Copies of this chain bind each other. A is one copy, B any other.
Amino acid sequence: MKRVAIIGVTGAVGQEFVIALNKHPWFEVKHIAASERSVKKKFVDAIRDPNSGILKWHIREPIPEYIKDMIVESVDDIKTENLDLIFSSVESEAARDIETKFAKDVPVISTSAAYRYEPDVPILIPGINDEHVALLDIQRKNRGWKGFVAPLPNCTTTGLAITMKPLLDKFGAQKIIMTSMQSMSGAGRSPGVSALDITDNIIPYIPKEEDKVRIETGKILGNLVDGKIDPAKLKVSCTCTRVPVIDGHTESVFVETMKHADPESVKKAMREFSDKVSVAGLPSAPKEYLMVHEDPTRPQPRLDREVNDGMTTVVGRLREDTVFENGIKYVLFSHNEKMGSAKGAVLLAEMLYKKGYI
């Protein structure tokens, strides 16, 4: 068993790590850390709101037994000698320092943005750009680290990049226009979105989100050439909004391809890609990586967030677009807390483990 630590364990993503690593066949949680106010508390006490007394646990599954009484440590007290891998979901500005410190000694898989935009750091989606893993060797050499930092993308990028991959491979996608309807859990849990702000409402703005999606999509779908990632030649423009949905991001996507792509061919390309995806069979991989619905009323967050425990990217309403020259439009759903963050990070760890990086 590989010995792992979760940094930022009390946050929304940290809690999903707790679930994703419960009874994992290869990884065992040995240490957990969070910010000062949680230190030396049992996990179950650390996630209770001191004012309202409410347990800040928003996941459908109950808190696993293994974690309940585990003591939250200070980040400074986590020693890498006894660890094989760090999962980090620190969201604050401290993320960069924390990840740097650990990566000197052990692999760090991160959901934060701290290192995403460095030239020697790949942004990895397991099954989409596995070949970018080679950049981790260069990163190690460059920085003289024994470990590395391997970040996931922003949770809004994940579904877009996954659905674009087969389109790009088969039809040469050039332009993307996307509007997201993002769930409340994407904004974290402490304090997270205020109910007074979002009930019966839409917030049409999420700071920095649109730039992240644009830059990350290009990098993930780019090619690793001579030790550098050459971003995909893709123009991406998006508007990101917050809607009153608990979990799971919905995105309305319009794409221009280079070659004509009729809807049936695109569905076929997506389904074939899904069937042959590299990560098939890994412990956290879904039975279907990418699912394409014919039912025009899908995807729906309430129905699709549970498909394969949130690890399947779900596509629907795939049809011709009449504005672009070779246009396709569709709606996608991606679970921001599962494939889009913690459990996706665990799937990445599994892939890296199989490749010998962990």
**A residues with CB within 8 A of B:** 12, 51-58, 60-62, 175-177, 179, 181, 184-185, 187, 189, 191-207, 214, 235-237, 239, 241, 243-246, 250, 252, 254, 295-303, 306-307, 316-317, 321-324, 327, 329, 331
Q: How far, in Å, is A10 (CB) from chain B's closest CB?
A: 14
Contact of B196 with A192 in the complex, beta carbons under 8 Å? yes
Which residue on chain B has the smallest CB distance to residue A63?
Answer: B303
Q: How far, in Å, is A200 (CB) from chain B's closest CB?
A: 5
Choice from B199, B207, B235, B295 contacting A200 with Cβ under 8 Å: B199
Contact of A204 with B246 in the complex, beta carbons under 8 Å? no
A54 to B236: give the CA distance in the assembly, Å.
25
Q: How far, in Å, is A329 (CB) from chain B's closest CB?
A: 6
Contact of B243 with A181 in the complex, beta carbons under 8 Å? yes
Contact of B250 with A205 in the complex, beta carbons under 8 Å? no
| Given A200-B301, A202-B245, 4 extra CB contacts under 8 A | A51-B207, A52-B297, A53-B207, A202-B300
Contact of B321 with A204 in the complex, beta carbons under 8 Å? no
Q: How far, in Å, is A310 (CB) from chain B's closest CB?
A: 12
Which residue on chain B has the smallest CB distance to residue A174?
Answer: B323
Q: How far, in Å, is A347 (CB) from chain B's closest CB?
A: 22
Across-interface contacts of A196 in B (CB, < 8 A): 12, 58, 184-185, 189, 192-193, 246
Choice from B12, B57, B202, B207 contacting A52 with Cβ under 8 Å: B207
Choice from B195, B239, B317 contacting A244 with Cβ under 8 Å: B195
Choice from B177, B201, B300 contacting A177 with Cβ under 8 Å: B177
Across-interface contacts of A316 in B (CB, < 8 A): 204
